[in-house]
Amino acid sequence: MTTFEELGLGTDVLKAVADTGYTIPTPIQAQAIPQVLRGRDVLGLAQTGTGKTAGFTLPMIDILAQGRAKARMPRSLILEPTRELAAQVSESFEKYGKYHKLNQALIIGGVAFGDQDKKLDRGVDVLIATPGRLLDQFERSKLMLSQVQILVIDEADRMLDMGFIPDIERICKLLPFTRQTLFFSATMPPEVTRLADQFLHNPVRIEVARPATTASTIEQKLTVIDAQDKREALRRLIREGNVQNAIVFCNRKRDVDIVGKSLQKHGFNAAPIHGDLDQSLRTATLDRFRSGDLQILVASDVAARGLDVPSVSHVFNFDVPIHSDDYVHRIGRTGRAGRSGISITLATPADQKFVDAIEKLTGKPIERFAMEGLEEARRPPREGEGEGRRDRHERARRLRDRGRKFDHAPPPRSLDEGVSMEAFRPDENAAPAEKSAVAKRQESAREERPRKEESRRERAAAKPQSERAAPKPQPERPVKPASREEKRRDRRDRYGKDDLGPSVVGFGDHLPAFLTVAVPRIWEKPARAEKPVEPAGAAEAA
Ligand code: AMP
């Protein structure tokens, strides 16, 4: 078995590693560290939990130990999709670089520009950034990228999901061609492969197994219930299970909030975390969860991806994830390091195809269990419930589904039909309709990408009141009637030619009879009649 000493790392780095208590490098560390030290580009197919952060941090500290950074010219750049991941990498540099004097800066959204500017001015060896904020700083001329020797693109597939690929392409073009590039991604969709092909030079490909697919210490269970019973089911499962700490995953941010609040209302020690929450609140919530102060973290996939939180006793999937990959990530939060863990998924009948995809990916059927009194389809009516409730529910669901296909659900023909107006309100708990891959990515990007506006707002807010430009009053323009030339241009734009209208459907071979009838040339003016010649002598007679 390989040891850290055999990987070629310097003594100070080895000392820091020993301080953390790690004795054996993980597979990605054993394979990547010697290659990075040799100066090779690396394409690492690994996800969080595999120890990949130390896989690039340790050799980078060794390489950067030689040399000094100049003001505003970072010597290395690490791109992370989320602020939390960036903060985590920054902590790793602190932990493993404690015997070195490397300067680092964290350039992430949600933090005032002032402190970041000061650090950049002093010169940084390691710059850890989210792509949007990095470009903001570059555009503010606070940063030059011409001295970057090592570039790390971490979680490239998550960058794609969040719509960061164009930003990364732009950043890569601002860097020196001769740099070393380390590229990590859990999966390689075509767009990520294209990015790797474009920016890596003869890379060493290192692939490590997904930890969750091999973890046999996780007990996976699933129950099928009605969407509106999910919150009750979750409460019951938390109360009845021996839950030390848990992460509850929801597919949508809105539901993260709703479930978090609902748990709090019922007396649970729970808090939500998602991309729309204020950065300081996110950090505080995570710290509380890490320290054991908070028992239940309700999270979206994006917010929780890659977070280094201690292994939890339970993972609850409040919604079945739409991407089967996310299921693997979610349940990987429990059952770590040989400890046992439990993952419980709350599914509705509409989730069947997503469950099928998960079971296909993991190669394992998920054990089903029934929740007494909440079984879907077999549940007896509760006390006080009318006989027709299930029928009404079914009908409401059908209408909702119709409403998803068309933008608005058609109103009931009559309220006597027995359909309550509840049916026309969006269902908070309903599984989202299936979307195309592009739509999913765009939604994800929208979810986690208020950063551009945020940055703009931050910049505006950072200016003193006096500097903020008041919107200029726009003089009202009189509406001019379109000139002949404009009309002609408009026609040309629309139809391609000057005077032709849109093409018309012809009559084919058939010639209608009315076309064969001769018509008088009504548009031709009749020839002017000759003045009649008056008969001779008439004038005289008058
Ligand atoms: P990462 O995949 O980099 O997010 O790391 C996942 C977790 O594994 C972190 O909590 C690290 O502290 C831990 N870790 C990294 N390398 C090792 C190692 N060689 N031995 C034990 N734990 C490690």
Q: Are 187 and 230 in the same domain?
A: no
Q: What is the pLDDT of residue 236?
A: 95
CA–centroid distance, residue 49 to ligand 1 (Å)? 6
Q: What is the pLDDT of residue 216?
A: 65
Nearest CA among 426, 436, 375 for reference residue 401: 426
Would you give the distance in Å from CA 392 to the centre of its chain? Answer: 36
Q: What is the tally of structural domains in the chain?
A: 2
For atom 12 of ligand 1, the residue with the nearest CA is 51
Q: Are 67 and 178 in the same domain?
A: yes
CA–centroid distance, residue 193 to ligand 1 (Å)? 26
Q: Are 308 and 265 in the same domain?
A: yes
Closest ligand 1 atom number to CA of residue 24: 19
pLDDT tens, the chain, 542 aa long = 789 999 999 999 999 999 998 888 999 999 999 999 999 999 999 877 788 999 999 999 999 999 989 999 999 999 999 888 999 999 999 999 999 999 999 999 878 888 889 999 999 999 999 999 999 999 999 999 999 999 999 999 889 888 899 999 999 999 999 999 999 998 888 899 999 999 999 999 998 865 444 466 788 999 999 999 999 999 999 999 889 999 999 999 899 999 999 999 999 999 999 878 887 888 899 889 989 999 999 998 877 766 767 778 999 999 999 888 888 888 878 876 556 789 999 999 999 999 999 998 888 899 999 988 887 654 444 444 443 455 456 556 655 554 444 333 333 333 333 333 333 333 344 444 444 454 555 555 544 444 444 444 445 444 444 444 444 444 444 444 555 655 555 555 444 443 344 444 445 555 666 666 666 665 555 555 445 444 444 444 43
> Which structure tokens are listed for 77?
């750049």
Domain boundary among 207, 229, 248: 207
Instruction: State the residue range of the domain holding 313.
Output: 218-368
Q: Output phi, psi for 296, to 5 deg.
A: -125, 125
Q: Cβ of 353: how many Cβ atoms within 10 Å?
A: 11
For atom 16 of ligand 1, the residue with the nearest CA is 51
For atom 21 of ligand 1, the residue with the nearest CA is 22
Would you give the distance in Å from CA 67 to the centre of its chain? Answer: 37
Taking the C-alpha atoms of residue 6 and residue 34, their distance in angstroms, rounded to an integer, is 9
CA–centroid distance, residue 388 to ligand 1 (Å)? 55
CA–centroid distance, residue 26 to ligand 1 (Å)? 8
Q: What is the pTM of this model?
A: 0.54
Cβ–ligand 1 distance for 158 under 6 Å, the answer no
Q: Are 234 and 200 in the same domain?
A: no
DSSP state of 338: G
Taking the C-alpha atoms of residue 324 and residue 331, their distance in angstroms, rounded to an integer, is 11
In a domain, 123, yes or no: yes
The CATH number linked to 280 is 3.40.50.300
Hey, is 250 helix, strand or coil? Answer: strand
Cβ–ligand 1 distance for 211 under 6 Å, the answer no
In a domain, 433, yes or no: no
Cβ–ligand 1 distance for 50 under 6 Å, the answer yes
Q: Give me the torsion for CA of 534, 535, 540, 541, rounded to 10°.
A: -110
Q: What is the pLDDT of residue 181?
A: 97
Q: Are 192 and 239 in the same domain?
A: no
Taking the C-alpha atoms of residue 287 and residue 308, their distance in angstroms, rounded to an integer, is 11
Q: What is the pLDDT of residues 247-275, one digit of tens each?
A: 999 999 899 999 999 999 999 999 999 87
In a domain, 26, yes or no: yes
Cβ–ligand 1 distance for 22 under 6 Å, the answer yes
Nearest CA among 159, 185, 296, 154 for reference residue 238: 296
For atom 19 of ligand 1, the residue with the nearest CA is 25
CA–centroid distance, residue 298 to ligand 1 (Å)? 23
In a domain, 542, yes or no: no
Cβ–ligand 1 distance for 332 under 6 Å, the answer no
Cβ–ligand 1 distance for 53 under 6 Å, the answer yes
DSSP for 425-460 reads: SPPSSSPPPP--HHHHHHHHHHHH-THHHHHHHHHH
Q: Are 112 and 256 in the same domain?
A: no
CA–centroid distance, residue 50 to ligand 1 (Å)? 6
Closest ligand 1 atom number to CA of residue 46: 2
In a domain, 443, yes or no: no
In a domain, 136, yes or no: yes
Closest ligand 1 atom number to CA of residue 20: 12
In a domain, 244, yes or no: yes
In a domain, 517, yes or no: no
Q: What is the pLDDT of residue 81?
A: 92
Could you tell me which residues are beta bridge partners of residue 44?
A: 184, 206
Q: What is the pLDDT of residue 376?
A: 62
Query: SS3 sequence, 468-528?
Result: CCCCCCCCCCCCCCCCHHHHHHHHHHHHCCCCCCCCCCCCCCCCCHHHCCCCCCCCCCCCC
Domain boundary among 321, 340, 368: 368
For atom 23 of ligand 1, the residue with the nearest CA is 51
Q: Are 71 and 183 in the same domain?
A: yes
Q: Are 188 and 248 in the same domain?
A: no
Q: Are 282 and 322 in the same domain?
A: yes
Q: Are 166 and 292 in the same domain?
A: no
Q: Are 165 and 140 in the same domain?
A: yes
Domain boundary among 368, 390, 415: 368
Q: Are 231 and 298 in the same domain?
A: yes
